[in-house]
């Protein structure tokens, strides 16, 4: 292919390509694992030892300068909120600056691709997505008028799955489901890593779920109200979302009813670029329900499914999706997991997160995805300050103790 031929011209050796493919590559800085006290001790070796071994030394500043620069250069958090780096250019977005101005031949292929994607594929996809959303509103509204019988539940699931499958065709989605025997069941909670709003469409193509989220206005609000008439989705007002006890109670009441659909939750709370799984919020792991983990991995070769909400609004993002070549992804259903004896909600959430990351070939990170919009909490800074002050105090006490043992002059 022309794109691979052009890429090979700018890649130096095959080993460099393998490095680029690895999502865990941090090749700029060689870090040495060690405690703060050990590293500061090495910096102080060149300084004459003071009678008070725990006093402040100006050389200590170099440790904090170095660690700060290292964290800036190899920031493993903020880079998760930008598009995944590609090894091969897919004739869409150039995520690698080496892929600019490769050749005139490849430029002509790209221009032809733009015509096909925007003039042929996009209109068809927009039409299919519009049909799917319109049928979803009309179908769920009609089903909502039926009495609370088993037939209503069956029709609601049928309408939801049918409309979501039409919307998936509007994205040219190709989905490979694995281990279907582990699919989430009623009375449980399905948790998955979060890359895009279309994660819902991907999962609902293979089954129906009860959604949990904040109430919206506009077109999204129309969809939410129509869906809630036919299915027990859980929508919260903005003020209610801050009341953890109210949220937990509604979730607990839902999962205790074994006739209701499994709840679909994305515990990360924000979209990550599908290279990693970040910290899971513990709320959905506190209610004692059966957890059904699901790992979702998109193939960036055909289209970037990541939604960078800081850069694109919803309309722009959907347009990018509908002008991609396709949305190709794998979905793995993992065995159900339960909270173990002596395990708190945070430990349970981390265990589920690790299982999802391992299955999807993603990095398992402990950082909060909320750092996408918020600053680092002051408690993290205070923790480092406390470690340093404790080290100084401990060193001063040891020096004082040693000086007491010295014989008098």
Q: What is the pLDDT of residues 95-112, one digit of tens each?
A: 555 555 667 787 788 889
How many whole angstroms separate alpha carbon 198 and alpha carbon 96?
A: 25
Q: What pTM, to 2 d.p., does this model score? A: 0.76
Residue with tokens 């780096």: 85
Secondary structure class of 216 (helix, strand, coil) = coil
Q: Which position has the higher pLDDT, 370 or 230?
A: 230
The pLDDT score that the predictor gives to residue 71 is 67
Looking at the predicted structure, is the pLDDT value of residue 42 above 90?
A: no
Q: What is the mean pLDDT of the chain?
A: 79
Q: What is the mean pLDDT of residues 251-265?
A: 89
How do residues 48-66 score in pLDDT, each as one tens digit? Answer: 554 444 566 666 777 777 7
Q: Enumerate the β-bridge partners of residue 327.
A: 173
Task: Provide the edge-to-edge strand list for the sheet that holds 188-192.
Answer: 173-178, 327-333, 290-298, 188-192, 263-265, 210-214, 234-236
The pLDDT score that the predictor gives to residue 209 is 93
Q: What is the mean pLDDT of residues 183-194?
A: 93
Q: How many helices (H) and strands (E) does the chain have?
A: 14, 9
**What are phi and psi for residue 176, nearest 5 degrees?**
-110, 115
Q: Beta strand pairing status for 327-333 and 290-298? A: antiparallel
Query: Any idea what the Cα angle at residue 13 is, between residues 12 and 14, rounded to 5°?
Result: 140
* Maximum C-alpha span of the chain: 98
How many whole angstroms separate alpha carbon 232 and alpha carbon 250?
A: 11
Could you say which DSSP state residue 209 is in? -
How do residues 352-366 score in pLDDT, each as one tens digit? Answer: 999 999 999 998 988
Q: What is the mean pLDDT of residues 371-389?
A: 72
The pLDDT score that the predictor gives to residue 310 is 79
Q: Enumerate the β-bridge partners of residue 193.
A: none
10 Å Cβ neighbour count for 184? 25
CA nearest to 231, candidates 298, 140, 300: 140
**DSSP class per residue in 82-148:** SPPPPSS--SS---SGGGSS--HHHHHHHHHHHHIIIIIIHHHHHHHHHHHHHHHHHHHHHHHTS-S
Token duo for residue 224: 């939410």
The pLDDT score that the predictor gives to residue 190 is 95
The pLDDT score that the predictor gives to residue 296 is 96
Q: Enumerate the β-bridge partners of residue 188.
A: 290
Tell which phi-psi region holds residue 95, choosing left (phi > 0), alpha (psi between -120 and 50) or beta: alpha
Query: Any idea what the Cα angle at residue 163 is, between residues 158 and 168, rounded to 5°?
Result: 125
Looking at the predicted structure, is the pLDDT value of residue 231 above 50?
A: yes
How many whole angstroms separate alpha carbon 209 and alpha carbon 235?
A: 13
Which contacts of 74-81 are long-range, i.e. CB under 8 A and separated by 24 or more positions? 74/26, 74/28, 74/29, 76/26, 76/363, 76/365, 76/367, 77/365, 77/367, 77/371, 78/371, 78/372, 80/272, 80/273, 80/275, 80/276, 80/278, 80/365, 80/369, 81/272, 81/273, 81/308, 81/310, 81/372
Q: Beta strand pairing status for 210-214 and 234-236? A: parallel
CA nearest to 283, candidates 232, 336, 346: 346
């Amino acid at each position: 292919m022309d794109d691979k031929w052009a890429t090979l011209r700018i890649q130096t050796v095959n080993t460099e390509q393998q490095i680029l493919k690895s999502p865990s590559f941090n090749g700029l800085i060689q870090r040495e694992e060690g405690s703060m006290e050990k590293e500061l001790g090495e910096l102080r070796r060149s300084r004459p030892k003071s009678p008070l071994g725990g006093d402040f030394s100006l050389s200590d500043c170099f440790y904090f300068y170095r660690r700060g620069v290292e964290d800036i250069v190899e920031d493993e958090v903020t880079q998760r909120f930008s598009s995944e780096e590609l090894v091969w250019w897919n004739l869409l977005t150039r995520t690698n600056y080496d892929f600019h101005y490769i050749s005139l031949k490849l430029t002509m292929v790209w221009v032809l691709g733009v015509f096909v994607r925007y003039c042929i594929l996009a209109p068809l996809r927009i039409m299919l997505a519009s049909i799917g959303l319109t049928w979803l509103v009309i179908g769920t509204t009609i089903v909502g008028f039926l009495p609370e019988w088993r037939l209503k539940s069956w029709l609601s699931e049928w309408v939801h799955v049918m409309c979501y499958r039409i919307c998936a065709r509007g994205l040219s989605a190709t989905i490979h489901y694995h281990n279907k025997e582990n699919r989430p069941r009623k009375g449980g909670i399905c948790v998955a890593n979060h890359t895009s709003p279309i994660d819902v469409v991907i999962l609902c193509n293979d089954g129906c779920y009860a959604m949990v989220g904040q109430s919206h206005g506009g077109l999204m609000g129309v969809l939410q109200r129509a869906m809630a008439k036919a299915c027990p989705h859980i929508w919260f007002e903005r003020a209610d979302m801050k009341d953890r006890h109210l949220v937990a109670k509604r979730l607990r009441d839902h999962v205790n009813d074994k006739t209701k659909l499994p709840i679909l939750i994305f515990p990360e709370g924000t979209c990550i670029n599908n290279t990693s799984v970040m910290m899971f919020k513990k709320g959905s792991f506190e209610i004692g329900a059966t957890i059904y983990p699901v790992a979702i991995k998109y193939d960036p070769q055909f289209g970037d499914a990541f939604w960078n909400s800081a850069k694109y609004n919803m309309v722009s993002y959907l347009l990018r999706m509908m002008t991609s070549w396709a949305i190709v992804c794998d979905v793995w259903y993992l065995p159900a997991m339960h909270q173990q004896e002596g395990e708190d909600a945070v430990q349970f959430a981390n265990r589920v997160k690790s299982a999802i990351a391992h299955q999807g070939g993603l990095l398992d990170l402990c950082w909060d995805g909320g750092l996408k919009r918020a600053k680092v909490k002051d408690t993290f800074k205070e923790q480092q300050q406390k470690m340093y002050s404790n080290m100084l105090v401990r060193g001063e006490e040891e020096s004082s103790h040693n000086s007491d043992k010295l014989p008098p002059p």
